[in-house]
Amino acid sequence: MSAAAHDSIPSATGPLLELDNVNAAYGPYRALFGVSFEVHRGKATAVVGPNGAGKTTIARVCSGLVKPTGGKVFFEGADISAKPAFQIARLGISHAPEGRSVFTTLTVEENLKLEFQRALPPSEVDAALGRAYELFPRLGARRTQEAGTMSGGEQRMLSLARVLVNPPKLLIADELGLGLAPIVVDEVFGWLRTIREAGTSLIVIEEEVHRAIELADDVVVMLKGRVDWAGPKDDADDVVSRIMPATV
């Protein structure tokens, strides 16, 4: 869809996010080739495919960490392709990348305060801390503990607590279960469901394809930097079965 066409779409009625013929590269190495798909309001989109398919590059393009070399990214009908990452975050897009995403030398409470002081008025910070500890009692019990000394699952809990207490319009969850025990991954996906039920749209990138698809409304299948297929979850079985040997 052209930029002119986007100008005529009310921001409340079009897709929340749209990639329109997006190309991206790391120096001379092209990573995305003409990628187009939409993320709808209050819905979850699973982006799946083998390693090297371009999934994480999509996450970085959507959050402004990588700029498209061609095409456009629209959020609520506005072109955000050239905006810096901090401005995109202020619009309501939060990127939770693989890894722990916490400040390891700071305590649990210091990690939470940094996020809440950035995103909320000063008068609301204490209440946000209280909500975080109510949602995640384990964090409350460890509020003075350095984040880097906690287990991987607890660090992931800390990174998601910041999102649950102050939910964005769109959360990009990139391999949040990576390196975690299956029981902890179950918890992570439970938290993602909670975030979605609260009204946040999701892009879910996960090496365990069936977990991502179970949570999703729509599926985007990536192969070699291109969209191989995109559509509703209920129509994705045959396509996903074809790529599964490359993803397990």
Compute the residue count for the chain.
248
Give tens-digit pLDDT for 218-229: 999 999 999 999
Look up the pTM and report it: 0.83
Q: Answer yes or no: do 81 and 191 share one domain.
A: yes
Based on the fold, state whether residues 19 and 137 are members of the same structural domain.
no
Does 137 fall in a domain?
Answer: yes
Report the domain count for the chain.
Answer: 2
pLDDT at residue 206 in the model: 85
The verdict on 7 and 88 lying in the same domain is yes
**pLDDT value for 160:** 80
**Whole-angstrom Cα distance, residue 33 to residue 22?**
7
Query: With bands split at pLDDT 50, 70 and 90, how would you rate the model's confidence at 244?
Result: low
Q: What is the pLDDT of residues 107-118, one digit of tens each?
A: 999 999 998 888
Whether residue 188 is found in the same domain as residue 153: no
Domain that holds residue 13: 3-92+169-246
Query: What tokens does 222 get?
Result: 């990536």
The encoded tokens of residue 44 equal 């979850």
pLDDT at 24 over 50: yes
Mean pLDDT of 43-49: 95
CATH number of the domain that 200 lies in? 3.40.50.300
Residue 34 inside a domain? The answer is yes
Same domain for 175 and 237, yes or no, is: yes
pLDDT category of residue 12 using cuts at 50, 70 and 90: low
Spatial separation of the C-alpha atoms in residues 146 and 110, rounded to whole Å: 9
**SS3 call for 167:** coil
> Is the domain of 184 the same as that of 239?
yes
Residue range 127-180, pLDDT digits in tens: 999 999 988 888 999 999 999 999 888 888 888 887 778 889 999 999 887 777
**Comparison of pLDDT for 211 and 72, the residue scoring more:** 72
Instruction: Report pLDDT for 1.
Output: 52
In a domain, 78, yes or no: yes
What average pLDDT is seen over the chain? 87
Predicted confidence at residue 210, as pLDDT, reads 87
Confidence label for 9 from pLDDT (cuts 50, 70 and 90)? very low
Considering the domain boundaries, does residue 124 fall inside one? yes
| Together in a domain, 183 and 86 | yes
Q: What is the mean pLDDT of residues 14-31?
A: 96
Regarding whether 35 and 108 lie in a shared domain, the answer is: no
HSE of 85, CA atoms in CB hemisphere, 13 A = 10
pLDDT at 209 exceeding the cut of 50? yes
| The most confident of 1-10, 69-78, 177-186, 202-211, by mean pLDDT | 69-78
Is 99 within the bounds of a domain?
no
b or e along 75-104 (b: 16 or more beta carbons within 10 Å of the residue's beta carbon)?
bbbeebbebeeeebbeebbbbbbbebbbee
- Residue 4 pLDDT class (50, 70, 90 cuts): very low
DSSP character at residue 38: E
**Domain end call among 144, 167, 190:** 167
Determine, yes or no, domain membership for 98. no
- DSSP helix/strand/coil, 235: helix
**Does the pLDDT at position 246 exceed 60?**
no
- Is residue 138 included in any domain, yes or no? yes
pLDDT at 245: 55
Please check whether residues 119 and 234 belong to one and the same domain. no
Within this chain, do residues 69 and 179 fall inside the same structural domain, yes or no? yes
Domain boundary, last residue among 134, 167, 200: 167
The residue from 116, 149, 167 where one domain ends is 167
**Domain check: are 114 and 70 in the same one?**
no
Residue 41 burial (10 A CB sphere; 0-12, 13-18, 19+) = middle
Q: How does residue 248 score in pLDDT terms, banded at 50, 70 and 90?
A: very low
Instruction: State whether 32 and 72 are in the same domain.
Output: yes
Residue 97 domain flag: no
Contacts for 199 with CB less than 8 Å, ≥ 6 apart = 42, 167
